[in-house]
């Protein structure tokens, strides 16, 4: 009996030594300017669900989010497929949920620009994207790197907003296919597709292994609750027309999925 008791005590001690202390960041790839209410709503929902040790962190400051995935720092991350694949392959992160539909990016230009018929015609022009190394930025660099005269890239806070505002600093735009298709429905003659990436898995929630062991099931239940999905639906619509979450598996994200990061991350 003493041996059993000692074993149990040692096991409990080992658990408490590895258990999280302090606040755990819950990273969302959005800015407070873009969605001013989501952080407060989600923090309130986390406390109500008994998950008050998580704190919603936006990407107003891009570096902690990006470096957290790159270096395997503790936290919950809603991340693009190439980031998720890196975290899973390099840092043994655990994916728990992902958006069901596939993700693709396209490069589009204004249909009334008579000098632009294909990607090569963008040489010397400006393509508006999100910041590096997001997938829309990487698509534009890959698609244009063989041109004799390279296109320029301009970082904007929101590519769809730049498209709606008809930003004249942008001669082309790199944006997700489902966003382009929304524009095509409302104004079918405004933009023309020049290039399209291959399809990949969509954004996923990935967790460092310690967080996954302690909180994985509780977080999965929380994220699938109708209340939480209603809060996060505006963000999900940035990446998919359908906002349904499905279970994610490690096999969903391979080393090929993070290949676009070669030259940017090591």
pTM (predicted TM-score): 0.88
Across 38-42, 51-55, 150-154, 258-262, least confident range:
150-154
Exposure b/e, 38-53, CB count within 10 A at least 16 = b: bbebbbebbeebebee
Q: What is the pLDDT of residue 212?
A: 98
Q: What is the pLDDT of residue 21?
A: 58
- Going from the C-alpha of 76 to that of each of 28, 162, 187, the distances in angstroms are 9, 30, 38
Give 107's strand partners: 174, 195
Look up residue 118 and give its two tokens. 């294909």
Phi, psi of 137 (to 5 degrees): -65, -45
Q: What is the pLDDT of residue 13?
A: 38
Average pLDDT estimate for 139-162: 82
Look up residue 159 and give its two tokens. 């590519």
Q: What is the pLDDT of residue 51?
A: 98
Q: What is the pLDDT of residue 161?
A: 94
Phi, psi of 167 (to 5 degrees): -60, 115
Contact call for residues 93 and 265 (beta carbons, < 8 A)? no
Average pLDDT over all residues of the chain: 90
Nearest to 107 by CA among 168, 169, 163, 185: 163
pLDDT tens digits, 206-219 = 999 999 999 999 99
**pLDDT above 70 for 148:** no
pLDDT tens digits, 52-104 = 999 999 999 999 999 999 999 999 999 999 999 999 999 999 999 999 999 99
More confident residue, 220 or 4: 220
The confidence band for 6, taking pLDDT boundaries of 50, 70 and 90, is very low
Q: What is the pLDDT of residue 150?
A: 75
Q: What is the pLDDT of residue 183?
A: 96
């Amino acid at each position: 009996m003493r041996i059993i008791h000692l074993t149990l005590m040692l096991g409990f001690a080992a658990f408490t030594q590895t258990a999280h202390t302090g606040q755990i960041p819950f990273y969302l790839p959005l800015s407070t300017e873009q969605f001013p209410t989501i952080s407060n709503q989600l923090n309130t929902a986390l406390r109500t669900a008994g998950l008050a040790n998580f704190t919603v962190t936006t990407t107003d400051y891009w570096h902690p989010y990006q470096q957290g995935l790159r270096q395997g720092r503790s936290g919950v991350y809603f991340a693009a497929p190439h980031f998720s694949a890196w975290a899973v392959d390099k840092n043994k992160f655990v994916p728990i949920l992902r958006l069901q539909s596939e993700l693709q990016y396209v490069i589009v230009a204004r249909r009334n620009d008579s000098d632009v018929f294909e990607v090569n015609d963008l040489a010397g022009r400006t393509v508006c994207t999100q910041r590096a190394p997001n997938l829309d930025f990487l698509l534009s660099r890959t698609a244009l790197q063989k041109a004799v005269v390279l296109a320029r890239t301009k970082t904007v806070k929101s590519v769809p907003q730049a498209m709606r505002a008809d930003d004249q600093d942008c001669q082309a735009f790199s944006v997700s296919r489902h966003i382009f298709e929304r524009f095509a429905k409302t104004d079918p003659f405004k933009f023309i597709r020049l290039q399209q990436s291959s399809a990949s898995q969509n954004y996923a929630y990935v967790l460092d292994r310690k967080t996954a062991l302690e909180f994985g099931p509780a977080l999965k239940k929380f994220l699938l609750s109708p209340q939480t999905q209603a809060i996060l639906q505006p963000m999900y619509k940035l990446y998919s027309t359908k906002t349904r979450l499905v279970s994610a598996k490690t096999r969903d994200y391979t080393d090929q999925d993070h290949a676009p990061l070669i030259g940017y991350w090591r």
